[in-house]
Amino acid sequence: MVSRWQAAIAGVVAAAVALGVAELIAIFSGPPSAPLIAVGATVVDAAPEPAKDFAIRLFGVHDKTALLVGTTILLAVFAALIGLAARRWRWAGFAGIGLFALIGVSAAVTRPNASWTAALPTLLGSAAALFVLFGLLSPTPFALHPYRQKYAAPDAAIGAEQRGTDGTGRRGFMKLAGALGLGAVAAGVVGRMISGRRGVSEARSAITLPQPSSPAPAVPANVDPAPAPLARYVTSNRDFYRIDTALVTPQVDPAGWSLKIHGRVKNPLTITYAQLMAMPMVERYVTLACVSNEVGGDLISNARWLGVPVATLLSQAQPEAGADQVVSTSADGWTCGTPTEVLLDGRDALLAVGMNGEPLPVDHGFPVRMVVPGLYGYVSACKWIVGMELTSFADFDAYWIRKGWAAKGPIKTQSRIDVPRGGSTVEAGDVVVAGVAWAQHRGITAVEVNVGDGQWRPAELAGTVGPDTWRQWSLRWNAAPGTYTLQVRAADTTGELQSSRKIPIFPDGAEGYHSISVTVR
Ligand SMILES: Nc1nc2c(c(=O)[nH]1)N[C@H]1C(S)=C(S)[C@@H](COP(=O)(O)O)O[C@H]1N2
Ligand SMILES: [Mo]
């Protein structure tokens, strides 16, 4: 019989082979069908709000990586236990691997839009795992293999004390296990690489964006006050914040893309990418913000979007009276619900195909996403959009609403200090305090800064193209040596002053003044 250690290693190697083989099969059946991704995605969707909150607080933007690493470690521990159990009882090996296969297959075939082929990576991976597990656990591992003799030969020379009790040799076992483990990792890496290549980045580069029939307003010269602010008025695609639940970015080919507008409409319709691209396009600057942005946080960015007004399509579909919610569905099954009224009130709500002059980046929703000025992303900014269903708020709760977030998500008036950085030391004298303020679709009218003396001084506002974007502000402060707490607050066109009450992001966005500490020397 192999030793306990060898049995545990056999279990882990079998699991690695299962995942490696699964990644290779997933080249054909699609990355979301790989068991690690399918199970991870199921966990993400099922996680209750407190668990998700905890993970984000602990791992920040690395929460998805943490989930995958955590799942892999758990899997390795269970695999070792299965190896140990199978050493005694053969049936335990079958049962253990069978259980994992069941979990993997159930997760993979129940992902949105999954076909039966989604079961293949797990099934073939598990078959390979059974073969490897029992091969390694046998008294003469893979003895039937014709090349077995080659591995066994050098061992014969190393003396009985170094060999296993069965005479096959510990070294031979480790070599085999190591080779299989390495092979499994290589298979996984190669599988992922090929899947990545088979993505839609080529289809994306082949796209030429149409000219807008209604171009974006010219950006005034004074939107970025000197000295250069920390966040530019227009965020580059590369720097634009990214938030979504996708463990692997959905790869949606524009050639096969269509958008179905259905539900409570008089005239259900389906449009293709070519049809959408042929429609009159408008181009607008809109600042997106995430409801999970903490006071002072950076989950907010501004871009120039090119797209078709949502209202154009809705008016073709003709919503029925009482259909007060439009539920957008992403290719990966994520949903968000937007008030029909907001989409029809004349604001520049777009089905966007372009971002800062380029086709939408894949991470930001290629080929088509929704952008709605004034609403947080979780109720409006559906990426990889494939469907819009007219329904009512009474009848349907979208993804985040089921987890307790507010059904309606208007963006709150907020402001942030970007320079100086909190906790930094600056030279006494003329200090520039600067940052951004936002109140999308209402527009910022004033920003005030308190440099620690209780007085609110008006900051200078930089230019803007309109109410749908954030706005830079700055203040010259004649600072004497000391330590100060700086605070900022903004007012919007409703005349309302930003709320000073400190409240957390859940359930409808944080409130409170951004406050930093600065030392002047
Ligand atoms: N398909 C899909 N679309 C989505 C999300 C998502 O998880 N899946 N997240 C939303 C949220 S919460 C935000 S804040 C914005 C962020 O868009 P960005 O990643 O382009 O900045 O996308 C929205 N659209
Ligand atoms: Mo968000």
Q: Tell whether 211 is covered by a domain.
A: no
CA gap 365, 374 in Å, rounded? 19
Residue 380: partners with Cβ closer than 8 Å, 6 or more residues away: 336, 338, 342, 349, 370, 371, 372, 409
Q: Are residues 27 and 136 in the same domain?
A: yes
CA gap 112, 342 in Å, rounded? 28
Percent helix, percent strand, percent coil in the chain, to nearest 5: 40, 25, 40
Q: Tell whether 389 is covered by a domain.
A: yes
CA gap 258, 280 in Å, rounded? 18
Closest atom of ligand 1 to CA, residue 332? 1
Tell me the mean pLDDT in the region 516-520.
98
Q: Give the ligand whose atoms come closest to the C-alpha of residue 508.
A: 2
Ligand 1, atom 21: closest residue by C-alpha: 242
Residue with tokens 């936002």: 438
pTM of the model: 0.91
Closest atom of ligand 1 to CA, residue 376? 14
Q: Are residues 429 and 397 in the same domain?
A: no
Q: Tell whether 226 is covered by a domain.
A: no
CA gap 385, 278 in Å, rounded? 18
Of 384, 403, 422, the domain-final residue = 403
Determine if the peptide bond prior to 141 is cis (ω within 30°): no
Give the domain CATH number at 420.
2.60.40.650
Q: Are residues 93 and 151 in the same domain?
A: yes
Q: Tell whether 64 is covered by a domain.
A: yes
Quick: pLDDT tens for 352-408.
Answer: 999 999 999 999 999 999 999 999 999 999 999 999 999 999 999 999 999 999 999
Q: Are residues 388 and 452 in the same domain?
A: no
State which of 244, 379, 380, 506 you would mutate to test the pocket of ligand 1, scoring each by most atoms of that ligand within 8 A of its C-beta.
244
Q: Are residues 28 and 139 in the same domain?
A: yes
Q: Are residues 313 and 456 in the same domain?
A: no
Q: Tell whether 209 is covered by a domain.
A: no
Of 364, 383, 403, the domain-final residue = 403
Q: Tell whether 264 is covered by a domain.
A: yes
Q: Are residues 424 and 382 in the same domain?
A: no
Quick: pLDDT tens for 173-207.
Answer: 899 999 999 999 999 999 988 988 888 999 999 99
Q: Are residues 394 and 516 in the same domain?
A: no
Of 403, 422, 437, the domain-final residue = 403
Residue range of the domain that includes 510? 414-520
Determine if the peptide bond prior to 339 is cis (ω within 30°): no
Q: Are residues 441 and 381 in the same domain?
A: no
In the chain, pLDDT over 70 holds for what percent of residues? Answer: 94
Q: Are residues 262 and 327 in the same domain?
A: yes
Which has more pLDDT, 150 or 101?
Answer: 101
Give the domain CATH number at 388.
3.90.420.10
CA gap 75, 96 in Å, rounded? 11
Q: Tell whether 227 is covered by a domain.
A: no
**Does 60 have pLDDT greater than 70?**
no
Angle at 102 between CA 98 and CA 106, to 5 degrees: 170
Whether the Cβ atoms of residue 415 and residue 435 lie closer than 8 Å to each other = yes
Structural domain count of the chain: 3
Quick: pLDDT tens for 83-140.
Answer: 999 999 999 999 999 999 999 999 999 998 899 999 999 999 999 999 999 999 987 7
Whether the Cβ atoms of residue 437 and residue 447 lie closer than 8 Å to each other = yes
State which of 292, 364, 383, 385 you would mutate to test the pocket of ligand 1, scoring each by most atoms of that ligand within 8 A of its C-beta.
383
Q: Are residues 329 and 465 in the same domain?
A: no
Q: Tell whether 372 is covered by a domain.
A: yes
Q: Are residues 59 and 170 in the same domain?
A: yes
Bridging pattern class, strands 282-289 and 358-359? unpaired
- Ligand 2: centre distance to CA 292 (Å): 6
How many CB atoms neighbour CB 323 within 10 A? 19
